[in-house]
């Protein structure tokens, strides 16, 4: 990535979707062959992410965020992860991690990470994450997100996600207080944030 950290949070960011797409009726042998030959495959139509091809997990990204920013509420961590994923789709043309993000009443949540820290209000360590697995480009993306969103309080981040289209689309038919576990699609994130 040639962008400097200062230039990453800009309102006019371009996005190009150069990831191959497959529909539900794709020929299985073609799909298997392509998966073997590509590092990452995403089916934008069905939101299938072949997580085995991801070298970085949400736990690794979370561990890096906590290492840089220190202890924080779990709600804030989830919102920062959401924005890291969104801006990685725009700036790097690929997801940062393979785990899905759900549209919960308090904003975006990565259920896999929630299961890990369930019952905790704040977190200061992600023992199962390895921040050393992140490459320099991924760190640059995360650092840019943290520079912009990292000092905002949890409630501010929740309210911001509630105003944005990806969370609203995933929550369609639910009130803001209803429980829900609809997936926030990578497509909706890439489309929305690339238009800012």
What is the tens place of the pLDDT at every residue in 16-69?
333 333 333 333 333 333 333 333 333 333 333 444 457 899 999 999 999 999
Quickly state the pLDDT bin for 154 (edges 50, 70, 90).
very high
- Spatial distance between the Cα atoms of 81 and 100, rounded to a whole number of angstroms: 11
Predicted local distance difference test score (pLDDT) of residue 53: 52
- Residue 104, classed as helix, strand or coil, is strand
For residues 119-140, give the mean pLDDT: 97
Cα distance between residue 194 and residue 196, in whole Å: 6
How far is 90 from 141, CA to CA, in rounded Å?
10
**Cβ atoms of residues 109 and 180 within 8 Å:** no
Contact 110, 49 (CB under 8 A): no
Mean pLDDT of 109-120: 97
């Amino acid at each position: 990535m040639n962008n400097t950290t200062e230039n990453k949070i800009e309102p006019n960011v371009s996005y190009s979707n150069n990831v191959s797409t497959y529909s539900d009726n794709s020929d299985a042998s073609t799909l298997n062959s392509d998966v073997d030959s590509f590092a990452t495959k995403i089916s934008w139509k069905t939101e299938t992410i072949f997580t085995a091809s991801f070298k970085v997990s949400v736990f690794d990204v979370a561990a890096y965020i906590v290492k840089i920013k220190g202890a924080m509420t779990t709600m804030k961590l989830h919102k920062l992860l959401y924005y890291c994923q969104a801006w990685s789709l725009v700036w790097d043309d690929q997801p940062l991690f393979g785990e899905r993000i759900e549209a919960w009443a308090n904003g975006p949540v990565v259920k896999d990470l929630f299961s890990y820290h369930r019952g905790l209000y704040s977190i200061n360590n992600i023992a199962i994450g390895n921040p050393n697995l992140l490459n320099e480009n991924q760190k640059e993306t995360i650092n840019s997100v943290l520079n912009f969103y990292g000092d905002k309080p949890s409630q501010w981040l929740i309210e911001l996600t509630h105003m944005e289209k990806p969370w609203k689309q995933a929550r369609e038919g639910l009130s803001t207080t209803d429980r829900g576990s609809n997936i926030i699609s990578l497509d909706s994130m890439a489309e929305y944030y690339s238009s800012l």
